Amino acid sequence: MSILVCGSIAYDTIMVFHDRFRHHILPEQIHILNVAFLVPDLRREFGGCAGNIAYTLKLLGEEPLIMATVGDDAAPYRERLARLGLRQDHVRHVPGTYTAQAFITTDLDDNQITAFHPGAMNHSHLNKVEEAVGVRLGIVAPDGREGMLGHVAQFAEAGIPFIFDPGQGLPMFSGEELLECLQRARYCTVNDYEARLLCEKTGLTLDALARRVDALVVTRGAEGSQIYTDGCRIDIPSVRPDRVVDPTGCGDAYRAGLLYGLAQGYDWQRCGRLAAVLGAIKIAHRGGQNHAPSRAEIAARYLAAFGEELWQQAND
pLDDT of 265-275, one tens digit each? 999 999 999 99
Whether the per-residue pLDDT at 312 is higher than 90: the answer is no
Asked if 252 is an active-site residue, the reply is yes
33: confidence class by pLDDT, cuts 50, 70, 90? confident
Cβ count within 10 A of residue 64: 27
Residue among 201, 174, 185 at smallest CA distance from 151:
185
Residue among 103, 114, 113, 115 at smallest CA distance from 25:
113
Whether residue 315 lies inside any domain: the answer is no
Whether residue 26 lies inside any domain: the answer is no
Q: What is the pLDDT of residue 316?
A: 44
* pLDDT, tens digit, 9 for 90 and up, residues 13-26: 989 899 999 898 87
What percentage of the chain reaches a pLDDT higher than 70?
98
Distances (CA, A) of 227 to 235, 244, 305: 7, 24, 19
Whether residue 150 lies inside any domain: the answer is yes
- The partner residues of 233 in beta bridges, in order of sequence, read 228
What percentage of the chain reaches a pLDDT higher than 90?
84
The 8-class DSSP code of residue 286 comes to S
Question: Where does residue 218 rank: exposed (0-12), middle (13-18), buried (19+ CB within 10 A)?
Answer: buried
Exactly one of 72, 235, 252, 316 is catalytic; name it. Answer: 252
CB 129 within 8 A of CB 6: yes
CB 209 within 8 A of CB 199: yes
- Of 116-120, 150-154, 168-172, highest mean pLDDT: 150-154
Q: What is the pLDDT of residue 104?
A: 85
Q: Stretch 145-173: mean pLDDT, rounded?
A: 97
Q: Stretch 276-282: mean pLDDT, rounded?
A: 98
Determine the 3-state secondary structure of 49 from DSSP. Answer: helix
Q: What is the pLDDT of residue 1?
A: 65
Whether the per-residue pLDDT at 313 is higher than 50: the answer is no
Q: What is the pLDDT of residue 126?
A: 98
Whether residue 222 lies inside any domain: the answer is yes
Whether the per-residue pLDDT at 174 is higher than 60: the answer is yes
CATH number of the domain residue 103 falls in: 3.40.1190.20
N- to C-terminal Cα separation, the chain? 17
143: confidence class by pLDDT, cuts 50, 70, 90? very high
* pLDDT, tens digit, 9 for 90 and up, residues 85-113: 999 999 999 999 999 998 989 899 878 88
Q: What is the pLDDT of residue 315?
A: 45
* pLDDT, tens digit, 9 for 90 and up, residues 229-250: 999 999 999 999 999 988 889 9
Whether residue 229 lies inside any domain: the answer is yes
Determine the 3-state secondary structure of 137 from DSSP. Answer: strand
CB 66 within 8 A of CB 256: no
Whether residue 311 lies inside any domain: the answer is no
Domain count for the chain, please give it: 1
Whether residue 9 lies inside any domain: the answer is yes
Query: If phi over 0 gives left and psi between -120 and 50 gives alpha, with beta otherwise, what is residue 307?
Result: left
Range of the domain at 153: 2-21+41-306
Q: What is the pLDDT of residue 2?
A: 92
Cβ count within 10 A of residue 39: 14
Whether residue 314 lies inside any domain: the answer is no
